[in-house]
Amino acid sequence: MRIATRGSRLARWQAETVATQLKALGHEPELVLVKTEGDRDQQSPIWELAGRGVFVKEVQAAVLDGRADLAVHSAKDLMSIPTIGLKIIGCLKRGNVCDSLIGTRLHELRDGAVVATGSVRRKAQLSNIRPDLHFVGLRGNIETRIGALQSAEIDAIVVAAAALERLGIVNVISETLDETIFVPQVGQGAIALECRTSDETIGEILTNLIDLNTSECVQAERSFLAELGGGCDLPVGAHATKTGEVMTLTAVIATHDGSTIIRDEKTGRHPASLGKDIADSLLNDKGGASLLYSRERPEM
């Protein structure tokens, strides 16, 4: 049972978590480490790479060409449009969906403080609440990002809380941002499992690992993103939760400077339909289409 994964410490943690669960089922997994375009290109801003699958394509190729039997991904890195020849079986039980500030709490940041992030979504939502803030880009693995705080020019950085929790470095968190205000990235905190469409045996094995609620919530979020267009580079976020049979999906579309944020929340029972419905509402009823097609570029 060969598991394709990126080689970063966080990616390996995710793949090893899957390997441990497979071992418990009597399998003998091994990791196949893959270097992706996103790993090689450390110069381009993350927002320029949005929607291109730069952290997953080479991992997927390893499965497609038979070097591996399955792939483990951070669900937020997956393109919204399925890859031909592959199927997403589902996700493990979701971790923390929130963003975290490292360095200081939001209300304690000085006027005109500099925040480092590679995410236009994080920049837009923070700017909406604190328009005085300035932003610089941020790349690299979690350790490299935390190290950016050594610069006297940076007051705080923003990273996913789940990454810090999985690596056991939660002591650096100054504040966990409320997900009901700072809507997370699609798929944030979820680990996705993918295999060849033709490989029914592997698919059946992987179904034993997935969490149904998480998988359906991520499906709704991805349906929303797909409806906007697979290459959408606007600041967008979506977060779904499920209680009983009813799912609640919150989604946002924003301008890059955060001056305008369009938000909606809907409930439903069918993930794909719910994602499409909220996208339609934001684009057509709430005026989001004008933002989507303006294609303004961020100042980061």
Residue tagged active-site, from 12, 52, 139, 263:
139
Residue tagged active-site, from 6, 94, 121, 242:
121
Comparing CA positions, the residue from 215, 299, 225 lying closest to residue 259 is: 299
Length of the chain: 300
Structure token pair of residue 127: 């700017």
Residue tagged active-site, from 122, 196, 222, 266:
122
| Catalytic residue check, 263 | no
Residue tagged active-site, from 6, 69, 76, 123:
76
| Catalytic residue check, 99 | no
3-state secondary structure (DSSP) of residue 19: helix
| Catalytic residue check, 269 | no
| Catalytic residue check, 76 | yes
| Catalytic residue check, 232 | yes
Maximum C-alpha span of the chain: 57
Residue tagged active-site, from 77, 99, 264, 277:
77
Rounded distance, CA 50 to CA 41, Å?
Answer: 13
Residue tagged active-site, from 2, 12, 130, 232:
232
| Catalytic residue check, 122 | yes
Contacts of range 159-162, beta carbons closer than 8 Å, 24 or more positions apart: 159/99, 159/100, 159/102, 160/96, 160/98, 160/99, 160/100, 160/188, 160/189, 161/96, 161/97, 161/98, 161/99, 161/100, 161/189, 162/95, 162/96, 162/97, 162/188, 162/189
List residues with catalytic annotation: 76-77, 121-122, 139, 145, 232
